[in-house]
A and B are shown apart, each in its own frame.
Chain A
Amino acid sequence: MPEMIYHHFRQSLPLGRTAFGHVIAVVLLIGCVHVPTTAVAQDDDIPQWLGEQLGIGVTHRRDNGEMTSLVQPIANAVAKSVVQVVCGGRPVALGTIVSSDGYVITKRSELTGDPILIRLSDDRQLSARVAAVRRSCDLALLHVDSGQNYQPIEWSSDVPPVGSFLISPGRGAKTIGIGVVSVLARPVEHQGRLGVYLEDDTNGFARIGRVHPDSGAALAGLERNDRIVAIDGQSKLDASSCQKTLGGKYAGESVRLTIDRSGSILEVDAMIREFNLMQESENDSKVNGPRNIRLSGFELAIQHDTVLDPDECGGPVLDSKGKVIGVNIARAGRVVSYALPASLVIPEMQSMLEEARAAAR
């Protein structure tokens, strides 16, 4: 008997758009498992459509082995400039080498604060440290402690039109995904929220009117009527100054809150999360698949449809001519990956390099 799941929820869209409600009807058929391809392919009673579904269909995917082989020369050309970033013993991102003296850019919000190792294309592992960050575009500049003569990536200012193929190489010239430009570069507004609805109490202090379920505020145990005394040590806040301070925080960042709960003072650390993720149903979450902690707040981002894993951001994105046109910055949903265009990455990278080199002097 098929299982039936319905979801009703309201979602408020970004500024200037009206909220709308929607219902997604889901049919989950239980007891269906993957049948081994070989077992089916030899069965003449199986109609063509079923054979296609179980076997041929998989091989025809746009990012199948044949396609990957076809674009291999493109991935090979940048192989020495793509690294894996390991943080706390876990691969968290890719990185793009941007200078011969060992500077690497990567996705900042995936760095946990644990020791960082860089895995090079030749399998060497070298320790690295954070040399500069740019929160506004979620980039970090890492510096590898040892060695010289790294192969920096060569950027291109080409802007591939909608429909252009994009190739995302991983470490060691392995193509991790092939997709196309879905939408030209545009600002992607930041949607990080603590998850509290604030009001002014009679003394003009910020008081929590409601805590959004599944938010960082809910996880941190914040409650209705808690009074916010200070955020990261900054005190004397009314509701609007609280909102302003919290509004400057991106998803994945954490805030220390000083709370007055019926006279007793508490210190609480809470995580800023993407508002869309707080609101989505279990089934939305399933169809979207794994995503990064930070999916928004990019001054400019190209939207493309390459299927990436969250730990595959930070590496270069190439067009079909092999030009490096940007850096993957987020896996944001089933149909959405974001890449920062080279026009944004280059100046940010240069200013981070200047900052890092000045500090190293």
Chain B
Amino acid sequence: MVSPWRGVSLGLLAICLGFLQSASAQDTVPPPAQLQGSSVQSTIREGFRATAKAPVGESNSISAANAKGTAVGLPSELTRLYEKGGTPRSLEELRLLEAQHQRIASAAEACTVSVKIGPAEGCGVIITDTGFILTAAHVAMRPGKVAIVTLPGGRRVTATTHGMNRNVDAGLIKINANQNEGRPWPHASLGSSDHLVSGMWCVATGHPGGYSDRRGFVTRVGRILSVRKDALVTDCALIGGDSGGPLFDLAGKLIAIHSRIGNDVADNLHVPVVHYDLSWDRLVSSQAWGYLPGFKPVLGVSGNQTSNVAEIVSVTTGSPAADAGFLEHDIVEEFGDVMITDFESLKRAVADTMPGERAVVWVNRGGQRVKLFVEIGRAD
């Protein structure tokens, strides 16, 4: 039997929804010096668990949504649609469903943010009053990068990328401290992705095509078409720029993060929030690991693992490295914004890129420093 991930790609043209771009070399900062205390982390983990058990129907007024999250009260008439999904039984029920969508969209505005890292642009959703932002791994790119976060209304704040589980495309960012005059950040209410079944209604928000002050955030409504371990498929239509944006259930709780699309307008994939919960400690401590199946970054060189320099032993014909002009015996000294000390560090630097990203590479060729431009390739 094929692995589920093979199945995911069946008939699918998958497209990363962020606007990815090569590193511009100036945008690194030292890794986040001081991580939040474990009390904050456990609060969030508990948040994940508590919301999973919370009874339906606990109401929040819309005006309080900013401070209390995006959860909105669920009329008892919608319990069936909330728990099992399906078609409303009457136009009256359809209008109740619609009123729910309206409330969720309204509450989602404050925490749906635009995330810009270098020239790349995607979305994110604030999930704590301390400013943690869930996004897609391919939007956050690498730990320790500077992100410009645009809030509704156009206000910009700076943030730092933390960890990323590239196996599922889950990424974490945190707004840098002291940018909100001591006030809590408006944030989404965390939901659980455990109870989801196909046929459920959901609301997607984001900034398709990038942030636009004249337009603002964009709402879409659809249904879950398929629940997989590593992704939800919905007919909430997404496109480039939406990556990292939030998907809410009918109670206004965050259930997934936008990731990628296929050609068909009903092929929209989202990362279930459970993956952020499972890896929370690693994400907070800025670890990055794995690669999205089908999106493994490749350079196309081999080297000597035991050598104390990153000397190229061979260059694969037709590889990105060959195209960039790498030669045997080149010693790689810098890759993008990373100093290379040995072949292992080169491997790590490549693993930290996304296919399609362009990087400037400095090599030492017979005593001369030579600058190469490489576009990272892709393997399964």
Contacts and interface: CB of A to CB of B under 8 A. Distances in A.
Contacts of A305: 219-221, 236-237
B366 interface: no
B181 interface: no
B215 A22 contact: no
Contacts of B380: 2
B359 interface: no
B7 A287 contact: no
B225 to A, nearest CB: 4
Interface string B337-377: 00000000000000000111110000000000000000101
Interface in A149-171: 161-165
Interface string B98-126: 10011111100000000000011100000
Interface of B: 1, 4, 7, 9-16, 18-22, 85, 87-88, 90-91, 94-95, 98, 101-106, 119-121, 198-199, 201, 203, 208, 210, 212, 214-216, 218-229, 233, 235-240, 242, 261, 263, 265-266, 294-295, 354-358, 375, 377-378, 380
B215 A303 contact: yes
Interface in A231-278: none
Given A26-B13, A62-B235, A49 B227 contact: yes
Contacts of B10: 29, 32, 50, 53
Given A60-B225, A163-B219, A4 B214 contact: no
A61 B10 CA distance: 19
Given A25-B20, A73-B91, A163-B105, 13 more contacts: A2-B380, A4-B355, A13-B212, A14-B214, A20-B19, A25-B378, A27-B294, A70-B88, A164-B101, A182-B219, A287-B13, A320-B94, A336-B208
A335 interface: yes
A60 B228 contact: no
Contacts of B377: 4
A307 B236 CA distance: 11
Contact of B15 (A13, A34, A52, A287): A287
A89 interface: no
Contacts of A289: 265
A283 B15 contact: yes
A286 interface: yes
Nearest to A19: B119
A73 B91 CA distance: 9
A182 B238 CA distance: 12
A13 B101 CA distance: 30
Given A57-B233, A183-B215, A183-B216, A27 B221 contact: no
A284 B17 CA distance: 11
18 contacts: A6-B356, A8-B356, A22-B18, A23-B20, A27-B14, A27-B294, A58-B225, A71-B91, A162-B102, A162-B106, A163-B103, A165-B101, A180-B98, A283-B13, A320-B98, A334-B239, A334-B265, A335-B239
A235 B220 CA distance: 48
Contacts of A183: 215-216, 218-219
A116 interface: no
Contacts of A303: 215, 218
A29 B262 CA distance: 11
B122 to A, nearest CB: 10
Give the residue among A17, A73, A162 with the most B Cβ atoms within 10 A. Answer: A162
A291 B136 CA distance: 29
Contacts of A334: 237-239, 261, 265
Given A60-B224, A182-B220, A163 B239 contact: no
A33 B12 CA distance: 10
A335 B261 CA distance: 12
A45 B2 CA distance: 11
A36 B228 CA distance: 21
Given A66-B87, A163-B203, A181-B219, A186 B214 contact: yes
B225 A52 contact: yes
Give the residue among A4, A21, A27, A164 with the most B Cβ atoms within 10 A. Answer: A27
A180 B233 contact: no
Nearest to B121: A20
A321 B95 contact: yes
Contacts of A29: 9-13, 294
A288 interface: yes
A317 B203 CA distance: 21
A330 to B, nearest CB: 15
Contacts of A307: 237, 265
A52 B235 contact: no
Interface string A334-359: 11100000000000000000000000
B224 A165 contact: no
A33 B11 contact: yes
Contact of B239 (A13, A26, A162, A288): A288
Nearest to B375: A6
A22 B222 contact: no
Contacts of A283: 13, 15
Interface string A59-90: 01110101100110110000000000000000
A284 to B, nearest CB: 7
Given A2-B294, A4-B377, A50-B7, A163 B263 contact: no
A57 B101 CA distance: 21
Contact of A186 (B16, B215, B295): B215
Contact of B233 (A23, A53, A66): A53
A272 B16 CA distance: 31
